Structure 1
Amino acid sequence: MRSVTVLGGGIGGLAASYYLAKNPQVTKVIVLESSSRFGGWLWSTRRSDGAVFEHGPRGIRPSGAVGRNTLNMVDELGLAGEILPVTYSHVASKNRYLYVKGQLHRMPSRISGLLWTLPPFSRPLLFNVVKEMLVKKGNKEDETMHSFVSRRLGKELADIAVDSFCRGVFAGDCRKLSVRSCFPPLFNAEQRRGSLILGMLLGSGPGPMVPPGPLAQRSVKESWAQWSLRRGVESLPEAIVEHLGQNKRVHLHRDTPVKHVSPSASGWTIHLEDGVIHTDHIVSALPAKTLSSALPASCQPLIQQLQDISTVTVAVVNLEYEGSILPVMGFGHLVPSAEDQGLLGIVYDSVPFPQHNRPDGHTTRLTVMMGGAWFQEVFGTPEDVKEVDLLNRATEAVRCHLGVTTEPTWSWVGLHKDCIPQYYLGHFKKIESMRGFIKENNLPLSLVGSSYDGVSVNDVIFHGRTAVEKLLGAEV
C-alpha cells in the first residue's frame, strides 16, 4: 500500500488518518478537507475572556470499548492533562430532566426511583421492568425504536422517554429510527438474552477488545460518566492535526473540495478544482450524499444507496447569562415531540463544565437545540431561516421552561445543515449492501464517518480505526 487519500477532515477522517500514519506500510497519507478548518462538528468557540462554548458534541462518554479507544488516543496525543471529568456522583450525571406538560420532571437515577409513581409517568416504572422480563423475544430482523420499546416496556415510556432520548441523540423521530442500527446494545440484549434487563445485568455478548490505557483505567477508578477538554472538544481534532503535521508521510490540505473521482490502473484519480491526485486507496469520511456525487457512474448501485441515507438539520443556539439563573441543577432537559416539535432540548453547560465559564464573575451558559427531523415543518427551509428568529425562539424557550426573565448577555446562533445522519429501518441492510458492492467490485474504497456505523464521537473514531485495520490487515 503506497498511498491512501482520506476524503474529509472531520473527526472520522482525522481518526482514520491518525491510524493510517501509525503503520509504515503506508508511504503517503493525503487528507483533503473542503472547508477552511479541520474538525467537522467538533467545534468550540474560545472567547478572549476565557469562556468556552461548544457548537457540536460536548461531553464524551468513557465507557465501553469505543470509549476506551478514544481515551487511549487522547493519552497518546498528550491531552491527559487537559481532561475535565464528570463523575457519576456529579449533579449533572444524577439529574436529567424531561419537559412535559409545561413542567420539568427529573428522571429516576436510582433503583429506588422505580418504586414510586413519578410524573410524567402514570405508574411506577418497576411495573415496566417486571413486564419487560416476561415479554417474548421479537422475531423481526429490525424494528423502530418506538415499536421496540413499546413492545418491551410499554407505550408510555416510548412516547415520552424514548421519543425525547432519540431527539437528544439523533435529533430524530423514534418512530422511524432503527433500534438495530441506532442502539445495537438494546437489540443485541433481546436477541442474546431475551430481555433488556437481563442483557444489562449479564451483558449482551462479547464486544471488541480494546485494552485500557492509563487514562481509561483512571476513568474507571474515578467513575467518570463523561469528559471534556479544558479548551473544548475541538482540542481533540486540533491535537490530531498537530500530530499528523509532524509526520513527513502525511499531507494535509484545507480548502480542497473533491470534484469527482475516477478509476485508474493503480487505484483512483481524484479530480480537484486545480489539478488531480493519483492514489492507491480512498478512505471516505465524507457524508454519504456528498460521496455519492463524487463517484463515477460505474458505481451507480452504491451511489443510489448512499443517496438513500437521510440527514437532519439542527439549529444550535449558545447563550450566556449573568449570575446563577437555573431553577434546577443537572445536565439539562429534553422535550418530547408531543410537547414541542421544534425544540429538542436545553443543555445546562455550566453545570457539568463550570471550568468553561469565564473566570471573572459568575455566569450561566446554556445551549438550546432545535429542529432535527422537524426542522422544515417548524422553521421552513434552512436557506430561508433568519438567525434572529432562531435566537428569539431559543430565548423564549429558556424563559418558558426555566423561568429566566433576564436577557442573555452573549449569544451565538449556528445552523448545522445535514449534520446528523438518520439510521432508518433497514439501515444495516444498506450498509451491508454497500460494502458488499465495494468488495465484489474490488473497489479500493473504505467508508468511515457518521453516515454508517454510529454517530457518536467514540463510534466515529473507533470505526475509523477498524476500517484502517481491515485495509492493512494489522492492528494499529
Structure 2
Amino acid sequence: MQKTVAVLGGGIGGLSTCYHLSKSIQVSKVVLLEASGRCGGWVSTTRREDGAVFEHGPRGVRPAGTTGKYILNMLTELGLESEILPVPHHHVASKNRFLYVKGQLHKMPSGLGGVVRTIPPFSSPIMLSVLKEVLVSKGTQEDESVHAFVSRRLGSELADIAIDALCRGVFAGDSRKLSVRSCFPPLYSAEKARGSILLGMLMGYEKRPPVVRSALLQRAQKERWAQWSLRRGMQALPEALEETLRGHERVEVHYNAPVRRLDNTAAGWEIKLEDGSTLKADHVISAVPAAALAAVLPPAAQPLSQQLRGIPTATVGMVNLEFSGSVLPVTGFGHLVPSSEDRGLLGVVYDSVPFPEHNRAGEPTTRLTIMMGGSWFEEVFGQPDHVTEQELLDRAAEALKTHLGITDAPLWSKAAVLKNCIPQYHLGHWKRLETMRQYISDASLPLSLAGASYDGVSISDVISSGRQAAERLLGKV
C-alpha cells in the first residue's frame, strides 16, 4: 500500500502518471508538483477567437501499436471522442510526404508503384534495397547508430537521405549519433529475432499484450487512421487530464512549485520546495527532464545524477505562420530536409492539409510550421538565449521562398526557441537506462522514472511511460 506518491512535473507524462495512480485505491494521496503556472509541458496550443488553432509543440498522435491503442481508450474515458480529428491512411496528408533534396521537392515513394520504380532523389527502386536486405547477415553489436544500421541493411543512399531526414523530423537529431536500439526498437528487435527487418515485420518479432477494444479504438481500426488531433488542439488533452485530476479528492495539484531538493529519509522522501515549504511522500515518480531530476537528488545519489546528466537534449526553433489563401505548390503532410541539404532547417509541416478544421472561419488560409536547429541549433544560430524571434522569422521566410516559392507576407506569425525540448538517445542509451534502474533498485530508492528522457519521445510514448510507472508501482506489471 503506497500512502502518498509525489509526481514531479505536470507535462503530459506527469499528468498521465497521476491519472493512472488516481484510479487505484492503493494510493491514499497523489501530489503533482509543477514548477510553472500551467500543466502540459511542451504540448502547447494557441486558439484564436476566429477559430484558428496553432500548435507550438506536438501536433498529432499516431494510433498505431499498443501505446496508441491505450491512448484512444484514455480519450474515451476523458470524454474527448467528439473532439477527435482523424487523418486516415488514404488522406492526401498521409500519402504525400516530401523530401527537399538538391534544391528540389521530391514526393517520398508510397504504394506499390512508388517502391518498384526508380523515383528521384533515389537512384534505384526502394524495393530492391528491401529485397536485398533479407540476405544481409545479422549484426553482432549490442547497439548501433541509426545511420550505420540502415546503411548496413538497406544501403547508404536510404540512410543518407531518407533516414537522416526522418531522424531530424522525429527527434530533431543526428542519425549518426542516435541509437537504433533506443530510437527505433522495432527495427532492432526485428533483426535480432528474425535476422532481417523485412522478415521481422512480416512474421512478427514480439508478443503484444491485448488491449481492451473500446468503440473508439474499433472505429480507428475500421477507418484506418494514420494520425489524429483534437478540435481545440493538442493542449485539450492535458487540459482534460488536469480537469479530471483537479476533481479528484485524493489528488493535489500544485502550480509554481519548483522542487529545490529531495532528501531520502527512513520514513520516505522529504521534498523541499523553492518557497521553503516541505512535503513528505512515500514514493516519488519523476516525470521532469533527466537533468532537472539530477539537480535535486541528494548527494548520496551522485552516481544516478551523473548518469541522468549524460542524456543530451536538442533545442528547436519553431515558427508558426498563417497566409491568406492557398499558397502551397503541393499538397501533403509536409517536407523534411536532410542535413546534407541545410543543417539549420529540419522541415516544414503543411498544417492546413491534415487539419483544415484548425483554419480560421471565413476566407481560406494556409497554416505552416517551420522547424529549425535541433542537434545543429548552436552551430547554426548560436546560443539559444541570444536568438531573437526576428532571426527565426527571417530564416523561415527564406526557407519558404527557396523550398516552396512562397513570397507573400504572413497574416500572423509566432516564433519561439524551445530550449532542450527533445532528449537525444545516443549510442548506448539502453545501457545507461539499465545502469540507472539497477542503481535505483540496489539503493532501494523509492523512485520511478517517467517522461521523454527515457523510453520514447512521442506523445504516445510519454503518456505510456506515465501509465507504466504507475502500474509498476501498483504491482500490476
Q: Please, what TM-score do these two structures have when normalized by structure 2?
A: 0.99
Query: Aligned partners of 2:175 and 2:209: how far apart in 1?
Result: 27
Q: CA deviation at 1:265?
A: 2.1
Report the counterpart of residue 39 of structure 2 in structure 1: 38
The aligned counterpart of 1:393 is 395
Among candidates 360, 375, 394, match of residue 358 of structure 1: 360
Alignment of 1:271-420 (within 5 A): 271-274=272-275, 275-420=277-422
Contact 1:292 1:303 in 2 (8 A): yes
8 Å Cα contact 1:69/1:212 also seen in 2: no
In 1: Cα distance, 2:27 partner to 2:335 partner: 46
CA deviations on 1:370-408 (whole Å, 9 max, x unpaired) are 000000000000011111010110011111111112111
Please give the alpha-carbon distance, in whole angstroms, between the structure 2 residues aligned to 1:131 and 1:64: 27
User: Residue in 2 aligned with 1:148?
Assistant: 149
Task: After TM superposition, give the deviation of residue 266 of structure 1 in Å.
Answer: 1.7
State the 1:474 CA deviation: 2.7
Using the TM superposition, give the Cα deviation of residue 204 of structure 1 relative to its aligned residue in structure 2, in angstroms. 2.1
Q: Provide Cα deviations, 1:204-248, integer angstroms capped at 9, x if missing partner.
A: 221343223221111001110000000001000000000001101
The 10-residue stretch of structure 1 (462-471 or 438-447) with the greater mean CA deviation from structure 2: 462-471
Conserved? CA contact 1:72–1:213, under 8 Å:
yes
The aligned runs of 1:2-401 (5 Å cut-off) are 2-274=3-275, 275-401=277-403
The amino acid across from 2:472 in the alignment is K
Match of 1:422 in 2: 424
* Partner secondary structure for residue 346 of structure 1: strand
Amino acid at match of 2:395: R
Letter aligned with residue 304 of structure 1: Q
Paired letter, 2:336: L
TM-fit CA distance, 1:415: 0.7
How far is 1:464 from its partner? Answer: 1.0
The amino acid of 1:450's aligned partner reads A
Q: Do the aligned partners of 1:315 and 1:370 also contact (CA within 8 Å) in 2?
A: yes
Consecutive unaligned residues of structure 1, counting only runs of 5 or more, are none
Q: Distance in 2 between matches of 1:162 and 1:187?
A: 15
Q: CA deviation at 1:123?
A: 1.3
Q: CA deviation at 1:154?
A: 0.1
Q: In the aligned structure 2, how far is the partner of 1:388 from the partner of 1:326?
A: 23
What SS class does the counterpart of residue 320 from structure 1 fall into? strand
Output the amino acid matched with 2:31.
I
Q: What letter is aligned with 2:286?
A: S
Kindly provide the amino acid, as one letter, of the partner of residue 296 in structure 1: P
Describe the SS at the equivalent of 1:122.
coil
Q: Partner amino acid for 1:157?
A: L
Deviation of 1:414 after TM superposition, in Å, equals: 1.2
Query: 2: distance between equivalents of 1:206 and 1:395?
Result: 47
Distance 1:344 1:370 in 2: 5
Range moving further from structure 2, 466-475 or 261-270: 466-475
Mapped contact 1:98–1:107 kept (Cα < 8 A): yes
1:111, distance to aligned residue in structure 2 (A): 1.9
Q: Distance in 1 between matches of 2:476 and 2:206?
A: 24
Aligned pair partner of 1:449 in 448, 451, 456: 451
TM-score by length of 1: 0.99
Deviation of 1:127 after TM superposition, in Å, equals 1.6
Output the CA distance in 1 between the equivalents of 2:404 and 2:321: 13
What is the Cα deviation at residue 125 of structure 1?
1.3
Q: What SS class does the counterpart of residue 85 from structure 1 fall into?
A: strand
Please tell me the residue identity of whatever aligns with 1:435.
Answer: R
Name the CA distance, whole Å, in 1 between partners of 2:194 and 2:395: 45
CA distance in 2, matches of 1:207, 1:117: 36
Does the CA contact (< 8 Å) of 1:320 and 1:365 recur in 2?
A: yes
Percent identity of the aligned residues? Answer: 61
Q: Which amino acid aligns with 2:470?
A: V
Q: Deviations over 1:240-276 (max 9, x none)?
A: 0000011011000111100111012221000012200
Displacement after TM superposition at 1:194 (Å): 1.0
2:189 is paired with a residue whose SS is: helix
Kindly state the Cα deviation for residue 323 of structure 1 after the two structures are TM-superposed.
0.1
Query: Could you tell me how far 1:130 is from its partner in structure 2?
Result: 1.6
Q: Distance in 2 between matches of 1:33 and 1:463?
A: 18
Shift of 1:450: 0.3
Which ranges in structure 2 are unaligned for 5 or more consecutive residues?
A: none
Moved over 4 A (4+): none
User: May I ask how many residue pairs the two structures share in their alignment?
Assistant: 475
Deviations 1:268-290 (A, max 9, x none): 00001220001100000010001
Report the CA distance between 1:124 and its aligned residue: 1.4
The 3-state SS of whatever aligns with 1:350 is coil
Any idea what SS the aligned residue of 1:27 has? Answer: strand
Shift of 1:300: 0.8
Which digits, 9 at most, give the CA deviation of each residue in 1:436-461, with x for residues without a partner? Answer: 00011110000000000000111111
Structure 1, 127-136 or 282-291: larger mean CA deviation: 127-136
Cα deviation 1:311-335 (Å, max 9, x = unaligned):
0100100000000000000000000
CA distance in 1 between counterparts of 2:48 and 2:435 reads 46
